[in-house]
Amino acid sequence: MAEKILEVRDLVKHYPVTRGVVFKKTIGQVRAVDGVSFDLHRGETLGVVGESGCGKSTLSRVLMSLEPPTGGQVLYKGRNVATLKGGELRRLRRQIQLVMQDPYTSLNPRMTVGDLVGEPFEIHTEVAPRGSRRRRVQELLDLVGLNPEHINRYPHQFSGGQRQRIGIARALALRPEIIVCDEPVSALDVSIQAQVMNLLEQLQRDLGLSYVFIAHDLSVVRHLSDRVAVMYLGKIAEIGTEEEIYERPTHPYTQALLSAVPVPDPTSRSQKAIIRLTGDVPSPANPPSGCRFRTRCWKAQDVCAREEPALVQRRGTDHPSACHFAEVREIVATHEA
Ligand SMILES: Nc1ncnc2c1ncn2[C@@H]1O[C@H](COP(=O)(O)OP(=O)(O)O)[C@@H](O)[C@H]1O
Ligand code: SF4
Ligand SMILES: [Mg+2]
């Protein structure tokens, strides 16, 4: 197994809920991320999947050290990133980069593509000395499949897919080891999604990158992911290899998500295998007691309200799942996006 490049240990991020305008009073906590642990190995892709609001973007911001965690740790090559200072912190910021969902809102419309892609060099001058920057930016544009001659154009002169390529070039500028991709293709047309996914896959192969790849749909991450973590209300419901999660899911939530993945031929799936996820996701400010999924789970028993299920491997299963009654259930064939 390759080196552990990132270790996430019981990570917690709560946001205070306040009332009042002048005298703000904290009346509760939004438990956006509530005890998440996983490893990321060099060169691997960990898919992180869950419905909107389950804490994926919060997780990405804490991984990037853009926000401090409320609890727990992120270890980069065995070192707690919260303890890094000065030059070490700067080096860490080089090594972990973020690609966000909406390239248009994350790119300054008044900057040229050359300025946008080269901006990281202003802070990390050691990566590209001033005289070599233009050439380096053109190399990056070429690397992501953009025309290097378009270096003086503005973001609005590019299509959505091309703008995401600009975002990727910018993330690559400092030659990072890890890229956190927060729903990088969610805002793109389906036909463009595959092109951007292929580019990310090729860049990973060529540059040896490690990815944390966030999506709200299991079908998006399947092809790219070595392992997948399924999140629900700030916690990991189930984590395993691509095969374990898609072929032998054991958590009722994962099973429901997979059952909801569209298949090209609706007659090919038996009715009894279809699990419909009903009801809304509860508020992370007031999560259900015990198992957080119990208000939407068709298997829920009394114990589920009393005891929180640990994320452990149970008898008859081959990977960790946070369900008291984790068991493999046959899921009808799903297809890849
Ligand atoms: N800065 C913040 N202050 C307060 N609540 C927040 C903040 N950021 C996110 N949240 C809340 O945390 C929860 C998780 O949000 P988010 O991480 O954006 O989820 P996702 O990316 O999975 O959609 C949501 O309930 C959201 O409203
Ligand atoms: S612990 Fe209970 S409520 Fe939670 S997923 Fe398992 S069966 Fe459902
Ligand atoms: Mg998000």
103 — pLDDT class (breaks 50, 70, 90): low
Q: Rounded to an integer, what distance in angstroms lies between the CA atom of residue 12 and that of residue 59?
A: 9
Residue 15 CB–ligand 1 contact under 6 Å = yes
Give burial (CB, 10 Å; 0-12/13-18/19+) of 25: exposed
Q: Rounded to an integer, what distance in angstroms lies between the CA atom of residue 178 and that of residue 81?
A: 14
In tens, the pLDDT along 252-275 reads 999 999 886 655 555 555 444 567
Nearest to 169 by CA among 224, 213, 113, 220: 113
Res 185 pLDDT > 80: yes
- Break the chain into its structural domains and give their ranges: 4-19+26-225, 249-337
Q: How many CA atoms lie within 13 A of 39 on its CB side?
A: 12
Residue bearing the CA closest to ligand 2, atom 6: 323
202 — pLDDT class (breaks 50, 70, 90): very high
Q: In ligand 2, which atom is closest to the CA atom of 301?
A: 2
In tens, the pLDDT along 117-173 reads 999 999 888 888 888 999 999 999 999 999 999 999 999 999 999 999 999 999 999
Res 25 pLDDT > 90: no
Q: In ligand 1, which atom is closest to the CA atom of 51?
A: 22
Q: Rounded to an integer, what distance in angstroms lies between the CA atom of residue 11 and that of residue 37?
A: 6
Torsion of CA 130, 135, 138, 144, to 10 degrees: -90
Residue 313 Cα to ligand 1 midpoint, Å, equals 29
Residue bearing the CA closest to ligand 2, atom 3: 294
105 — pLDDT class (breaks 50, 70, 90): confident
In tens, the pLDDT along 58-93 reads 999 999 999 999 999 999 999 999 999 888 888 999
Query: Which ligand lies nearest the alpha carbon of 233?
Result: 1
Nearest to 106 by CA among 66, 164, 62, 60: 164
Query: Which ligand lies nearest the alpha carbon of 288?
Result: 2
Ligand 2 environment, Cβ below 6 A = 252, 291, 293-294, 297, 299-300, 304, 309, 323-325
Determine the pLDDT at residue 272: 46
Q: Rounded to an integer, what distance in angstroms lies between the CA atom of residue 230 and that of residue 208?
A: 25
Res 336 pLDDT > 50: no
Determine the pLDDT at residue 334: 46
Q: Rounded to an integer, what distance in angstroms lies between the CA atom of residue 122 and that of residue 263?
A: 48
Share of the chain above pLDDT 70, in %: 93
Beta strands in 42-188 (DSSP E): 45-49, 71-76, 79-80, 96-99, 178-182
In tens, the pLDDT along 308-328 reads 999 999 999 999 999 999 999
Q: Taking the CA atoms of the chain, what radius of gyration do you get in angstroms?
A: 21
Determine the pLDDT at residue 158: 93
Please state, rounded to an integer, the average pLDDT across all residues of the chain: 90
Kindly report the CATH number that applies to the domain delimited by 4-19+26-225. 3.40.50.300
Global pTM reads 0.92
SS3 42: coil
